[in-house]
Amino acid sequence: MALFRRDLLLALRGGGGPGLALVFFASVIAVAPFALGPDLVLLARIGPALIWLAALLATLLGLDRLFARDAEEGTLDLLFASPSALELLVLAKAAAHWMTTGLPLAVVSLLLSLMLNMSVATGFATALTLLIGTPALTLIGVIGASLTVGLRRGGLLIPVLVLPLAVPVLIFGVAAVEGVAQHGFMAPAFLVLAGLVLATLALIPFAAAAALRAGRN
Asked if 176 and 190 count as a contact pair (C-beta separation under 8 A), the reply is yes
3-state secondary structure of 34: helix
Distance, CA of 49 to CA of 118 (rounded, Å): 12
Percent of the chain with pLDDT over 70: 95
- Whether the pLDDT of residue 195 is over 80: the answer is yes
CA angle 172, 177, 181 (to 5 degrees): 140
Nearest to 55 by CA among 121, 111, 127: 127
Distance, CA of 173 to CA of 48 (rounded, Å): 9
Q: Over range 23-38, report the average pLDDT.
A: 88
pLDDT in tens, 41-52: 888 889 999 999
Say which residue, 51 or 187, is predicted with more confidence: 51
For the chain, first and last CA: distance in Å? 27
Residue 96: Cβ-neighbour burial (10 angstroms; 0-12, 13-18, 19+): buried
pLDDT in tens, 54-108: 999 999 887 877 887 778 777 888 888 888 888 999 999 999 999 988 999 999 9
pLDDT of 199: 95
Distance, CA of 190 to CA of 183 (rounded, Å): 10
Alpha-carbon 3 to chain mean position: 19
Distance, CA of 87 to CA of 207 (rounded, Å): 9
